[in-house]
Amino acid sequence: MYIVTGGAGFIGSAMVWKLNQMGIDDILVVDNLSTSEKWNNLVGLRYSDYLHRDQFYKLILEGDDPFETDAVIHMGACSSTTELDADFLMENNYRYTLYTCRHCLNHGARFINASSAATYGDGEYGFDDDEAGIEKLRPLNMYGYSKQLFDLWAKENELFDRIVSLKFFNVYGPNEFHKDDMRSVICKAYKQISETGQLKLFKSYRDEYAHGGQKRDFVYIKDVVNIMGWLLENPDVGGIYNVGTGTSRTWNDLGNAVFSAMDREPNIDYIEMPESIRDKYQYYTEAKMDKLIAAGCDVKLTSLEDGAADYVKNYLAQDNSYLRTR
C-alpha cells in the first residue's frame, strides 16, 4: 500500500499517475476535496481507496497502521505563498507533516515529504540543499517558514538518513487547473495569450534585473514525479534534496517559450507588481542538483522550451490538462 497525501492536488495526483506508470495501483489517496475541482485530477487514475485528510490524521494520531503502509508520499499541505493564517499553516503544514513522519518511522514505511524552495528566502545564503546549513535560511513568507520548521525538526532529531524532504522549485504542468491564482505562469500565460494575444509580466524593482528578467528554476511536473519514483526505488537514499533543473531562466524566457509553443510572435507587457508582495518577492532561484546526482539519480531533466511545448501542445491546447492512465 502506497499512501499519497494531497493525492488529488497538483503534484500528488501526478504522483499517483507515476505510480500507475510503475505498475502500482494499491494506492490510498488522502485529501480534502470539499467543493473544489480537484476531483478532476483523479479521473482516469487507478487507486484502491480515498480517505478524507481529517480521518487519516485521526488514524495516525491513534498510532495504528491499518493500511500496512510501504510508503507515504506526503504532498498534503497548503501551498499558497500568500496565506496569512499562521495558525492554520502551523497545523496543516508543520504539525500534520511531523505526525505523518513519526507514523512512518514507527511502522517502517518510507517517508517522502514536500518541502519547498520558499525556505531559501531571498537566496542570500544560496540554494544549497546541504542539511548542515538550513538553520541560517530565512523564508520570506509564512508558507516557507511552515516548511522550514519541519526540516529543522527532522535535522534536530537526526532523521535525514531515514527520510526524504524535497525542496520543489517552480513546478509547472498538467493537473494544476484547480490551483486558481497559484497555477504556474505557463498555465496562466496560455489563457492570457489565447484571449488577448498578449502576456503580462511583473516589472522589476531592482536595477540589476530588467523587466521580466527576474530568474527562476522552472521544473516540469513529469520530471518531479520521475525523481520521486526513483527515490521510491532507492529506499536507502535519505536527506534534503532540491528538485529543479539546476538552470535559472527569466520570466521573459518562459513567455517566449509559451509564445513559441503556440506558434505566435512574442508580445509581452510589463505591469506593476502589487505592493503587498514586493518586499517578499524572490528575484532569483536556482536549484543546486549536485547532491541528488551524486546520490545516483539519473532522471533526465526537461528544458523549459521542451516542457512548455509538451504542456501547451499536448495538454492545454487539447483542452485536456490532466494526466490519465485509463
User: What are the catalytic residues?
Assistant: 143, 179
What phi, psi does 213 have (nearest 5°)?
A: -95, 0
Residues 6+ apart with CB under 8 A from 88: 78
Residue with cell 491499518: 66
* Secondary structure percentages of the chain, helix, strand, coil, to 5: 45, 15, 40
CA dist 38 and 21 (Å) reads 21
From residue 281, how far is each of 123, 124, 174, 275, 314 by CA, in Å? 11, 13, 25, 10, 31
Q: Which amino acid is at 300?
A: K
Distance separating alpha carbons of residues 93 and 90, to the nearest angstrom: 6
Return d(Cα 324, Cα 43) in angstroms, integer.
7
Query: In which element (H, E) is residue 177 found?
Result: none
What's the N-to-C CA distance of the chain in angstroms?
A: 20
| Residues ≥6 apart with Cβ < 8 Å to 209 | 215, 283
- CA pair distance 323, 63, nearest whole angstrom: 34
Q: 36 and 10 in contact (C-beta within 8 Å)? A: no
Instruction: Calculate the CA dihedral of residues 243, 215, 184, 325 and round it to 10 degrees.
Output: -40
CA 38 – CA 253 distance, rounded (Å): 30
Provide the residue type at 232 as one letter: L
